[in-house]
Amino acid sequence: MFFVFPTKGIAQSSVKTFVDSWVTTPNRSELLEKQMDTIAFEDKQPWGIYPIVVDDNQKMQSMDGFGFALTGGSAELLMKMTPFERTKIIKELFAVDNVGVSYLRLSIGASDLNSFVFSYDDIEKGETDYNLRKFSLAQDLKDVVPIIKEILKINPDIKILGSPWSAPVWMKENTNTRGGALKKECYTVYANYFIKYIHTMKNEGITIDAITIQNEPLNSFNTPSMPWYNYEQKNFLKDYLIPAFKRNNITTKLILFDHNCDRPDYPLTLLTDPIIGDYVAGSGFHHYRGDINTMSTLHNARPDKNIYFTEQMVVDTPDKPFDIAGQVKRLIVGVSRNWSKNVVLWNLAADLNNDPHTDNGGCSMCQGAISIDGDIVTRNLAYYVIAHASKFVRPGSCRIASTASGEQALSLTQDEERPEVMRATLINNIQVLPNVAFKTPDGKIVLIVSNDSYSNEYFCIQYKGKYANIKLTPGCVGTYYWQADKSI
């Protein structure tokens, strides 16, 4: 419940706090554009508008960051740009004073957005390599690793998540990149494969902050892919991977599941095992199926474990309005309000035809956050969805309380017959615009608001008993930024 009180008769400070704002419109006339209007917190609450009450005394999860998957295809396209233009777009995306992307997801081996399939231990058919003597990052050294190194020069603190789409084919029952379970006799070598990856990347100057065990373990239709039932993964984690991490003093976090919101039973079952539940950092989700609130369900069941949002494709059509309000509502507001420590979209870059991707199971409709055509870069919907958060909500920021639609509010109003008498009214199910609020490490408040309606052009922020009145036209998204506690 949020409480809304009038300020009549209460002494107020003459020092005002001002709100900076950045807006994106569905017609693309404004794209994360700083607004020139002066917005100040005032004493008086506007009549007839229930405010979004922001309360930085109520703290939820800390944020690791916002970003994209740097697929092999993304890195390949970036490497084909001239060095000057490549550095220019990387600085735009990753510099802290620009878009400030703060989280990356890498594929461990190929994903379906590589030009072709490979692993880090490809050998001749019929051969095995249980000692991983032929392990090599050779393909990633051509594109992914150089791009990451350039990013790290600009943002050395960026967090990196690794996810495998498949084990090497010689470890799989069907000896195929698509589908096929991991052989039981390869559990030990596959655990060592993860260790080798983390160590080899570290030798390249790249720290892998976390890994998921398998991208979309319930999907066997991608190329590559590897289905993995949770009871099998439980055995792998408990008896092979976690012991290998402990023996090798690996500090990289383990994240469970990495699939859709319709199957919370998968990670929850794994978490019931005391060894797994004690060791892993949390569970990762996509939102191609299921209800986003499932993440809160899992959080409520295991509040000691983190929630991560590891993938979602966002696509727009150039000749149609941006669905910026709908996507921010779902992927920034919805994901953050459901306890995720990050938001990672799929993927960073593709060309104008949504290439490259693998044949027979690669995603042919996966648009990049940016489209690259030689040295020409087009910024797409996903770019602005992430930018509305990443530019302002830096790693270490904490989500704080703000009024959600459907919550209760307590209002004080004058008695109609006796103006000197105040009446308290409890309002159920108030309607406010979708929003989420954060407090940054340097003491700023960030409020991201999505006007997904056809009206509601005016809304109000209440903070520390004062009010900021704001206009946000239909279909728009606004990020609002002010100093916490300084003048109010």
Query: pLDDT of 66-87, one tens digit each?
Result: 999 999 999 999 999 999 999 9
149 in the same domain as 33: no
The last residue of a domain, from among 372, 395, 418: 395
71 in the same domain as 20: no
- Whether 257 contacts 229, CB under 8 Å: no
Note the pTM of the prediction, 2 decimals.
0.95
CATH at 415: 2.60.40.1180
CATH at 369: 3.20.20.80
Whether 373 is covered by a domain: the verdict is: yes
Question: Residues in the chain, how many?
Answer: 488
The last residue of a domain, from among 395, 412, 433: 395
424 in the same domain as 343: no
Percent of the chain with pLDDT over 70: 97
136 in the same domain as 283: yes
pLDDT tens digits, 194-229: 999 999 999 999 999 999 999 999 999 999 999 999
**Residue 188 pLDDT grade (very low, low, confident, very high; cuts 50, 70, 90):** very high
294 in the same domain as 245: yes
pLDDT tens digits, 140-160: 999 999 999 999 999 999 999
Whether 488 is covered by a domain: the verdict is: no
Whether 332 is covered by a domain: the verdict is: yes
306 in the same domain as 389: yes
pLDDT tens digits, 443-477: 999 999 999 998 878 899 999 999 999 999 999 99
142 in the same domain as 43: no
427 in the same domain as 347: no
| Residue 248: C-alpha distances to residues 194, 195, 234, 241, 276 (Å) | 11, 8, 20, 11, 17
| 156/68 Cα distance (integer angstroms) | 16
- Whether 217 contacts 258, CB under 8 Å: yes
Tell me which amino acid residue 289 is. R
**Residue 7 pLDDT grade (very low, low, confident, very high; cuts 50, 70, 90):** very low
222 in the same domain as 117: yes
Whether 308 is covered by a domain: the verdict is: yes
Whether 455 is covered by a domain: the verdict is: yes
Q: How many domains does the chain have?
A: 2
336 in the same domain as 192: yes
Residue with tokens 């969805």: 385
- Our CA dihedral for 394, 397, 403, 407, rounded to 10 degrees, sits at 120
Give the pLDDT of residue 8: 40
User: What is the extent of the structural domain holding 438?
Assistant: 2-61+399-483
| 3/410 Cα distance (integer angstroms) | 5
385 in the same domain as 294: yes
The last residue of a domain, from among 360, 395, 430: 395
Which of the residue ranges 68-72, 124-128, 460-464, 483-487 would you say has the lowest mean pLDDT? 483-487
474 in the same domain as 338: no
